[in-house]
Structure 1
Amino acid sequence: MASAASVTSLADEVNCPICQGTLREPVTIDCGHNFCRGCLTRYCEIPGPDPEEALTCPLCKEPFRPGSFRPNWQLASVVENIERLKLVSTPGSDEEDVCQEHGEKIYFFCEDDETQLCVVCREAWGHRAHTVRFLEDAAGPYREQIQKCLECLRKEREEIQRIQSRENERIQVLLGQVATKRQKVIFEFAHLSQFLEEQQSVLLAQLEKLDADILKQQDDFDVLVSEEISRFSSLISELEEKNRRPARGLLTDIRSTLIRCETRKCRKPEAVSPELGQRIRDFPQQAIPLQRKMKMFLEKLCFELDYEPADICLDPQTSHPKLLLSEDQRRAQFSYKWQNSPDNPQRFDRATCVLAHGGFTEGRHTWLVKVDLAHGGSCTVGVVSEDVARKGELRLRPEEGVWALRLAWGFVSALGSFPTRLALGEQPRQVRVSLDYEVGWVTFVNAVSQEPIYTFTASFTQKVFPFFGLWGRGSSFSVSS
């Protein structure tokens, strides 16, 4: 025996679009739609604004002739069988699909007024000049918009999750560095007098504060990321749920829903604040105020708290022909005389630069550059990405994969997006360059006075190489650990 739901579904298929009741004496017109004979007759008698205008089908608006009704006996038999089934089944109802004003089934959507219409509503004067479409036809473009919004929202959510993963990795690196510094401080200060024990307490307290601040910012970061993911997940769930609705449910407040989704703004969180990062970078300098007699101890402590020494050799395959390299490949001198160097893809052809062998893809490394400049000469030191331009003009800035300082006669400049002349206590002639690949720091310090010079912050994604440039007759530099 047929269920109530299936009988209701069949009954909906044989309803008259005009009266919404079961078809009585069904007739078919030219376009193929079926109506009750009585309903269609009354429809034809309704006067229009233009008496000469041809009658149109209440559903598809195709013209038809009033005398062209054709009895549909086969459909009448189907209606009779469904009526018998309804006597033994519980008929369903779908009040949401019925016009509240006329009590008739809703078939249309007015795009001008964003209103869902029944047959009678469509014939009203207020909608005759409007763009009116069947519900499914009208829902199609909106479904496409929803799909586009879903794709964008999912991408935004994935981006937030990638940021969360990357920043959590950075946090672990920082926590590891802080833990290492703590152990080194404990070991070194254990062999000193009461004066150094007091300094030990100070430094440990600062490390504990850094540790706590990192964890606190991690908690704040996790909360912010969770809120962002929850916000986007909520929007996605809302759109997915709306997209599963039938056309009328989908179209209800559709523009308002889409506007809220399209005008969303994704906050790009950062796990570690610049201020905290600067405090971590500046930590080794806290040892500088110690007494002069402890200078050797302090130098050792600062060195162990920072980076591992790198064995740097210059790569002659990358060297510009105007640079003369020493046999041990640890010193370079500028010359206006071009060397007989074969051209190759790795060699700089315009910028008088050279790279070191090997390069780095991880870890913390440091090397020393001793600079000897003639009057008017200059030297560039830093790191570059593997794909830095070797041919033609080389723009020395982070956007081009270059993080470097320029040391010239009488001044030092940080080669950022816009070169910045630095105010230093003295002109450095020995510069210690330190690279922290995972955290993304390139730090420059005056190796003699221990005065900080500059720090670049970057996100390395490929191998980086120690980088050196030289200009001016008689100018030279040498590298060591």
Structure 2
Amino acid sequence: MASATSVTSLVDEVNCPICQGTLREPVTIDCGHNFCRGCLNHYLEIPIPDSEEPPTCPLCKEPFRLGNFRPNWQLASVVENIERLRLVATPGSEEEDVCQEHGEKIYFFCEDDEMQLCVVCREAQEHRAHTIRFLEDAAAPYREQIQRCLENLRKERDEIQGVQSRENQRIQILLTQVATKRQKVISEFAHLSRFLEGQQGILLAQLEKLDGDILKQRDEFGVLVSEEICRFSALITELEEKNKRSARELLTDIRSTLIRCETRRCRKPEAVSSELGQRIRDFPQQAHPLQREMKMFLEKLSFELDYNPAYVSLDPQTSHPKLLLSEDHHRARFSYKWQNSPDNSQRFDRVTCVLAHSGFTEGRHTWVVNIDLPRGGSCTLGVASEAIKRKGEVRLRPDEGVWAVRLACGFVSALDAFPTRLTLEEQPQQVRVSLDYELGWVTFVNAATQEPIYTFTASFTQKVFPFFGLWGRGSSFSLNS
């Protein structure tokens, strides 16, 4: 067995003059010196002052021709044998890949058979006409292909991860919407239950009163009838006794007796007064509030389950300087004092308006606005196109990209092509604004009574935002979060 010292001496003999390491893929140039293929390629990449002169040997400085260096298979075999000896002589060294058939280190790759070869395999008859390359040279184009595949796979993986992220976010939104709808169903049915209990108490109390009034009139009727029967019974008894007497006694005061009997008229009292009878007949009308409430309940429940509650917050970048926004951006108040707001292209500078932070390009959405208006104040609610004019005067009407209603003390107007004053049962304090982007509906409803206010029909092509405007000292609104 070779000693470690002799192996080290052999290794020194096959070192590369450039890297001072054991030759890897040795090649020989014109002067006969051997170098690692990689080291020589790197050496040739160094710029030469006079590019017309041929490169020189790194060791002896003799010129050699580019492309005239050739693989030194014999030296490669020697290097392989030395490496094997070193592995044997050095305890604990890891054995490199070797040919299973010949026990030689694998240096080459046959591109025709796609086989890894040692020096002995390369010289075999079946590979002499094949394209044989060093392992690294053969692996280079495959590394490039692998790199391209990796880039494509990573890109597709990133796209899938993006889809996963978007869909997970969408699922979370849907779960949140379902939870909101569940809470809405519980809340609405609890409200209905309380209302039904109250209505039941009212109707039962009214029926109890009717029952008492009927019994009272029954007792009064009984007393009256008994009195009449007693009076008539007394007259009948008197006449029967008169008729049994003698002619002289019969004729005594006969005219007065007959007059009393003939002029006596029977009073025919009613057991139930006409007024009480009318109350009984009108009792079904007492259920009309219940019918209206049930109708409103079903309409409201159906509406709120169909539309998604929108989380609306005000965008301070669009707010007119006379609007004071709360820290949570859910409330706004009008002030004649201008705020120190930096000017930007998004901010309204003439109309005292503000947009919501987020807009919509699809779907059905609803939000509720609480309004507090002093005398002389007004509030404008609706939606506005993303392209709404921000500077100068803005006409708040559909052809300018605004679909809104204006509420003031005592009246409500729809800001259509021509403002239309609306007739409502009561002045809304809470307004529900609903948007159906695909159908192009913007609907306003009194959130407290469910009374319809107005509906715009549009054809949306851009993103639309919840829109709000205020005027008048002390005027304010807040958003239900």
Q: Provide TM-score, normalisation by structure 1.
A: 0.39
Indicate the structure (1 or 2) with the bigger Cα radius of gyration: 2
Q: Provide TM-score, normalisation by structure 2.
A: 0.39
